[in-house]
Amino acid sequence: MQWGAELQWNSKSQILMSEDSQVKQRAIQTRVFETTDKIKIMRVTVAAMQDLFFDIDVLDEDLGVVSGKKMFHENPNDPWPDHPTYYAYETDNLIIFNLTNFRTWGPFKYRNDLIRMTVTVRPKEKTRLLVRASVQYDIRAVQDPEMYQKFFKTLEQSLFLSAQSE
């Protein structure tokens, strides 16, 4: 019986668990855009993440960071998504009190239903911006390129639509 995700004490253990090379993973996670308008890229990043059903938690224009989360239910027979306390939580507070018992884990099934995406935007040379997306699912880095391709395709579409509306 498994009691949740494997413990990771630091970023080195996360890297060592990776099946792909870090260079290959960075290539999947990164795109370069021919613009210097950081605010515009961040706005379309938020729009793209929302189009992919992420709730935005962090937006820091100075650091160039956008982070969000969404629930993913892989098992349709899982009873927890119907539980009334399932969605009622704050990201930083996973303690739930109810009349019958005290749970420090909540109905969250060891967080194996949460996808977190963090996108950083930073300058690259004088005329371009580098956008890097990092996705975690079940406390592990997502290595499948499909998720990143979908995000960047949505981002490029949002950027195109933003340029058309100006």
Query: Residue 23: what pLDDT?
Result: 83
> What tens digit of pLDDT does each residue of 66-95 get?
999 887 766 666 655 555 555 555 544 444
* 96 and 65 in a common domain: no
Q: How far apart are CA 115 and CA 161, in angstroms?
A: 26
How far lies 84's CA from each of 29, 41, 101, in Å? Answer: 36, 37, 15
Query: Residue 10: what pLDDT?
Result: 54
* 161 and 118 in a common domain: yes
* 126 and 150 in a common domain: yes
Query: Residue 16: what pLDDT?
Result: 55
Q: How far apart are CA 107 and CA 120, in angstroms?
A: 31
Q: How far apart are CA 107 and CA 87, in angstroms?
A: 9
* 65 and 118 in a common domain: yes
Q: Tell me how far apart the 2 most distant CA atoms of the chain are, in Å.
A: 60
Q: How many domains is the chain built from?
A: 2
Q: Is residue 143 part of a domain?
A: yes
CA atoms lying within 13 Å on the CB side of residue 10: 1
* 105 and 80 in a common domain: yes
Cα-atom radius of gyration of the chain, to the nearest Å?
Answer: 18
* 63 and 82 in a common domain: no
Query: Residue 122: what pLDDT?
Result: 95
Q: How far apart are CA 125 and CA 56, in angstroms?
A: 28
| 0.85 exceeded by pTM | no
* 27 and 60 in a common domain: yes
**Intervals of the chain under pLDDT 70:** 1-20, 73-112
Range of the domain at 92: 76-110
Closest CA to 85 of 69, 103, 104, 106: 106
Asked if 68 and 56 touch (Cβ cutoff 8 Å), the reply is: yes
Specify the DSSP element, H or E, that contains 60.
strand 55-60
Q: Is residue 96 part of a domain?
A: yes
**What CATH number is associated with residue 156?**
3.30.310.80
Q: Is residue 41 part of a domain?
A: yes
Query: Residue 20: what pLDDT?
Result: 61
Query: Residue 106: what pLDDT?
Result: 44
Query: Residue 112: what pLDDT?
Result: 62
